[in-house]
Structure 1
Amino acid sequence: MCLEPPLLTCTIPEHFAEIVSEYGDRPAAVFRSPTTNNMRPQMSTLTYEDLDTQSNIIAQSLRSLGVKKGDRVAVSLGNVPEYVVLTYAIFKLGAILVPLNPTFNPYQLGAALSRLGVKVLIIAAVTDLAYKPCRGRSNSNLLFQLVPGLSAGIVDSSSAPTLESIVLVDNMPSHPLADFPPLELLPGITPYSSLLLSSSSSPSLSRSVRPDAPLVPSETINIQFTSGTTSMPKAAMLSHTNILNNGRLIAARMGLDPEDRIVCPPPLFHCFGSVLGLMATATTGACIAFPSPAFDPGATLHAAAELRATGLYGVPTMFAAELELLSDPAFAARLPPGGLGNLRKGIAAGSSVPEPLMRRLRERLGLRDLVICYGMTETSPVSCMTAPGDPDDRRTSTVGRAMPHTVVKVVAAGDRSRVVPRGKCGELAVSGYLLMEGYWKDAARTREDLVADEDGRLWMYTGDEARMDRDGFVEITGRIKDLIIRGGENIHPLEIEVSLAGHPLIREASVVGVSDERYGEVVGAFVAVHTGVRTLDDGEVDRGGGGGEALSKDEVRDWVRRQLSGHLVPKYVFWTDEFPKTASGKIQKFKLRDIAKEQLGMASK
């Protein structure tokens, strides 16, 4: 195990104070705001001193709302300045940041808030949507379903009983078509603008924040959901030590320095944006740029060119969309001449990166030092990573080697006590400082996933099949768990299966990942209906023949869409009468994947 550089033993606010002292006048974060006309989008910059001052003000204002050390504060925002400021404000108070996917529907949001006993929810008036700049979803209906008494100034939610305050970020100017009531008609909502008071009029608010009790590096300051918000999702608790060191070690391996300007389209509510992005740059004095509140390939390329960025982050689907745009001469002509010429660094993560895509990223975007990161939320998240100096074949076929202060091993399937020889496949396990503190109020599942060996060392078993070569490079050869990775986003099949099981015409359902050229994997649902129910294929019209009720594939998709987020809607629906099962009654999903390949003509591909 590599022990260099040594681990930081301070808290995030303590380390941030050192960075502010050294790099205070340098840009910490740049934001490119979407516009609704032909005018040039606005760029806003927070220096490290700005970020320090504003986060102090917001921390004091949150304290006035009753937020104390250990309280959970949920943030449901896109990649906007308020998110970055709130991150440090919450950390300085010793409260716990709960990042939420802004596309959650009312049920998902209520379940998440209730599960973690959240005290304050900070949310935007409109949820920005990927690929749809300025055409977001108004959150007025969502908020009224969550808290029916908002108009009367009453914050009382049956689905989230611990909720005391809702803070609203007004992003209506960039969403003129979205309908949201005037804030003066909603006394139950606190405008974010009222929290960000002028430091000149209230100078005491901009001073350093003293938490209710001293901060300790091992304390939980971030809770990340590892799947959806139904079917008892896991809520991983991450500490100062976890996040601070993971970000710093990522920065060191990829070679970040204070002169770097990194464009980061992955979301801040995900570990990619918050740790690989914000924490990695903030531990080195570098600048991070968020090109749009939600992913927009055009905005990403414009931001990179306008800022003369040195680095670019993304998952394969993001990179593919950007390369597709660049192939359009009309679009390319609108970029500042030579603006992409400084690109050389970057991170690809979230799912496997095909070698042809890596090659195109080097040739078209100049990302010759692009690295691959591998990990999971429970490991803060990165446990393995390639480096710019690794051999070319290892940089495309593996996820690199273990990070410093991290131990990895490959154990035999069904026998975690036996480490397999180099070059043999087994389950990948990870140990070290980066392991989560556990799952929030879920000791049983914590014991299942964090397992001590005979020497007392804790290991996180990833559920991924892997093999390690003689030089320590790790190749991921498959997934043992049933997780679906769609464009870098984790999807747990159980969430969709529970939704489908609630349909009155569906008898049984099972969900698997189906190969897809664009997303890597998409959702495929195998559905068995009740006796007497007729099934309709795509495009088939119900003519009422045979009597009884009928169910179409589109109706199955619409059912899921009404209950869950759009990315969970099955792209493929397969009708079946019986499922392949083991003797104990468990559905054999590997057989379902084979059936999907055969039906879609992928068997030989």
Structure 2
Amino acid sequence: MSQTSTDFTSLPALVDAQGALRPRHPAVVLDQRSIDFASLNRLADRVAAALQRDGVPARSVVAICAATSIEYVATFLGSLRAGVAVAPLSPSLNPQTLRAMVQDAGARQLFIDASTREALLGLEAGLGVPCIALDDADAGLAFTRWLAPGDARPAPVEVQPDWAFNLIYSSGTTGVPKGIIQPFGMRSSHVQRATQGGYGPDSVTLLSTPLYSNTTLVSLFPTLSLGGTVVLMGKFDAGQYLELAARHRVTHTMLVPVQYQRILAHPAFAETDLSSFRYKFCTSAPFAAALKAEVLQRWPGALIEYYGMTEGGGRCELRVHEHPGKQHTVGRPSPDSDMRLLDDDGRELPPDAPRGTPGEIVGHSPAMMSGYHNHPAKTAEAEWFDASGKRFIRTGDVGYFDADGFLILMDRKKDMVISGGFNIYPSDIEAVLMAHPDIADAAVVGVPSERWGETPVAFVVPRPGAAADAAALLAWANGQLEKMQRLAALELSQELPRNAIGKVLKRDLRERFGRAP
């Protein structure tokens, strides 16, 4: 990390300072509840003191597997205050995966609620860790009983920038989830970056993605650290989002592309007052150029797309409102990011490589993971070092820089289809499909082929009211595509399988292909 203990202020300390500066300012709002900074800090202190009382030492781990709540935020913050890392886990996990993640994290305690009770049935004894129910449900020890007394204060813990802040388990869209260790210094760099996105004490940030997602945390923690207000949604609904945005005079939001799509399509969008918006952000999934243009045209405020990984490394930033002609790109590397391209042998592309030569994207910045928890070999696979020994994180994405230094993504390296010796990028085919007026969404994957090794197939979601015919769409698409790109099959689908932050689960599509409905 570039930060040292002498110039480092931990995120819990920043939130604590906001409690002294503006104790009655609302910190977190959810449904009809609101908690100010003084109360949030008091609750976080009680969590930290309870962990210390229970013998949970600094630099250990607790897990949270629960629905979005104010108690969730306070428990996360209180754990950090005790120097304890947090593993936020999805409540939709199946029991076996939940057990594996809790055990992999080495969690000393597990915070749950009624939403995770089903996944825990029969597992409590096997987990071997105490369960505390954030909503006081009978799924575990009641949170209000577990908390330290109201006047309790934890023993001070001087966290260091290289200590683990959280373990974010990867979404698992292409393989077995791994625990990504994000250190305190990495989260501190996120706060420092946030000022460039207009976050500050008058910010009101509306977040509708789950608290276990890094997409949410990269906006949640900077907002609180800088004294703003976070408005949370327990579950995304486009109509409710618009109502909350207008009611709270929201200034900032982080959304994934499918959420932008659904909000813009909602009947109430045109009549909702969104004039308070200053910045809208997007990350975590491909953001179509046409959708960016529509957001820019119809929704007040700046629009910024971020390209990066939960693992950290380099980050690109596209200020769409400043560069409307670059909507097909993901922007330029941020000022603190060093991003380079590697050839198929893992060597950096030479400076004299022809403009537009694609390569695997690697990046370095102050925001980088420590590694994958308990997976040193996987960590080594994710790293690349230049001749000077500088550490980079491999993205697994393939792309190239245009003449102005904007990055154009081609596809995930692992999603690339190699057919008859040719590299085929699904995103190129998806872009052609999305140009058809009857197609609302599309995804392309490679499936085994005896003749070609692999061949591309498409899954298409028709637009509402469209009389879409799979054979006709296949014929149309193959008439637009290059010979080597032509689809072997096209299947109609009501929707594409996505995870909680909008990424298409291409592994599920590969498994679905050819299977009887």
Correspondent of 2:95 among 106, 123, 130: 106
Correspondent of 1:210 among 138, 156, 159: 156
Correspondent of 2:363 among 412, 430, 437: 430
- Asked if structure 1 preserves the Cα contact closer than 8 Å seen for 2:48 and 2:154, the reply is no
Correspondent of 2:513 among 555, 558, 574: 574
Structure 1 residue 80 corresponds to structure 2 residue 55? no
Correspondent of 2:169 among 214, 217, 225: 225
Report how far residue 120 of structure 1 moved. Answer: 1.1
- Asked if structure 2 preserves the Cα contact closer than 8 Å seen for 1:526 and 1:573, the reply is no
Q: Deviations over 1:241-278 (max 9, x none)?
A: 101212330x2232223212121112221111011x11
Report how far residue 27 of structure 1 moved. Answer: 2.0
Q: Deviations over 1:390-449 (max 9, x none)?
A: 32223x222222223321112223242334545432111101321211111221121121
Structure 1 residue 143 corresponds to structure 2 residue 75? no
Distance in 1 separating the partners of 2:330 and 2:196:
13
Structure 1 residue 288 corresponds to structure 2 residue 230? yes
Distance in 2 separating the partners of 1:416 and 1:476:
19
- Asked if structure 1 preserves the Cα contact closer than 8 Å seen for 2:312 and 2:369, the reply is yes
Tell me which residue corresponds to 1:543: none
- The 5 A counterparts of 1:356-375 are 356-366=290-300, 368-375=301-308
- Asked if structure 1 preserves the Cα contact closer than 8 Å seen for 2:329 and 2:406, the reply is yes
- Asked if structure 2 preserves the Cα contact closer than 8 Å seen for 1:62 and 1:195, the reply is no
Correspondent of 1:391 among 323, 346, 356: 323
Report how far residue 54 of structure 1 moved. Answer: 1.0
Tell me which residue corresponds to 2:401: 468
TM-score by length of 2: 0.77
Distance in 1 separating the partners of 2:298 and 2:175:
43
Distance in 2 separating the partners of 1:8 and 1:278:
23
Percent identity (aligned)? 24
- The secondary structure found in structure 2 opposite 1:378 is coil
Structure 1 residue 253 corresponds to structure 2 residue 196? yes
Report how far residue 19 of structure 1 moved. Answer: 3.2
Tell me which residue corresponds to 1:346: 280
Tell me which residue corresponds to 1:304: 245
Distance in 2 separating the partners of 1:92 and 1:345:
30
Distance in 1 separating the partners of 2:296 and 2:386:
42
Report how far residue 29 of structure 1 moved. Answer: 1.8
- What code does the residue aligned with 1:285 have? G
Structure 1 residue 16 corresponds to structure 2 residue 15? yes
Tell me which residue corresponds to 1:406: 337
- What code does the residue aligned with 2:298 have? R
- Asked if structure 2 preserves the Cα contact closer than 8 Å seen for 1:526 and 1:574, the reply is no
- The secondary structure found in structure 1 opposite 2:182 is strand
Structure 1 residue 125 corresponds to structure 2 residue 131? no
Report how far residue 572 of structure 1 moved. Answer: 7.5
- Mark the CA change 1:89 to 1:478 in structure 2 (over 3 Å): closer, same or farther: same
- Mark the CA change 1:459 to 1:86 in structure 2 (over 3 Å): closer, same or farther: same
- What code does the residue aligned with 2:29 have? V
- The 5 A counterparts of 1:134-213 are 139-147=116-124, 156-157=125-126, 160=127, 163-170=128-135, 183=138, 189-196=140-147, 202-205=149-152, 207=153, 209-211=155-157
Distance in 2 separating the partners of 1:571 and 1:456:
39
Distance in 1 separating the partners of 2:11 and 2:150:
24
Distance in 2 separating the partners of 1:208 and 1:527:
61
- Mark the CA change 1:369 to 1:226 in structure 2 (over 3 Å): closer, same or farther: same
Distance in 2 separating the partners of 1:108 and 1:458:
31
Correspondent of 1:269 among 207, 212, 215: 212
Structure 1 residue 319 corresponds to structure 2 residue 260? yes
- Mark the CA change 1:27 to 1:523 in structure 2 (over 3 Å): closer, same or farther: farther
Q: Deviations over 1:306-352 (max 9, x none)?
A: 11212232111111111222xx2xx569xxx7642212311011122
Distance in 1 separating the partners of 2:63 and 2:415:
28
TM-score by length of 1: 0.66
- Mark the CA change 1:375 to 1:398 in structure 2 (over 3 Å): closer, same or farther: same
Distance in 2 separating the partners of 1:267 and 1:392:
30
- Asked if structure 1 preserves the Cα contact closer than 8 Å seen for 2:60 and 2:107, the reply is yes
Distance in 2 separating the partners of 1:483 and 1:236:
24
Structure 1 residue 46 corresponds to structure 2 residue 46? no
Count residues with an aligned counterpart. 444
Tell me which residue corresponds to 1:355: 289
- Mark the CA change 1:415 to 1:450 in structure 2 (over 3 Å): closer, same or farther: closer
- Mark the CA change 1:141 to 1:13 in structure 2 (over 3 Å): closer, same or farther: closer
- Mark the CA change 1:257 to 1:231 in structure 2 (over 3 Å): closer, same or farther: closer
Correspondent of 2:390 among 457, 461, 465: 457
- The secondary structure found in structure 1 opposite 2:107 is coil
Tell me which residue corresponds to 1:30: 29
- Mark the CA change 1:423 to 1:284 in structure 2 (over 3 Å): closer, same or farther: farther
Report how far residue 17 of structure 1 moved. Answer: 2.9
- The secondary structure found in structure 2 opposite 1:379 is coil
Report how far residue 193 of structure 1 moved. Answer: 2.5
- The 5 A counterparts of 1:439-588 are 439-482=372-415, 515=430, 521=443, 569-570=508-509, 573-575=512-514
Correspondent of 2:221 among 269, 273, 279: 279
- Asked if structure 1 preserves the Cα contact closer than 8 Å seen for 2:238 and 2:262, the reply is yes
- Specify every segment of 5 or more residues in structure 1 that has no aligned partner in the other structure, as ranges: 33-41, 127-138, 148-155, 172-181, 485-511, 529-552, 554-565, 577-605
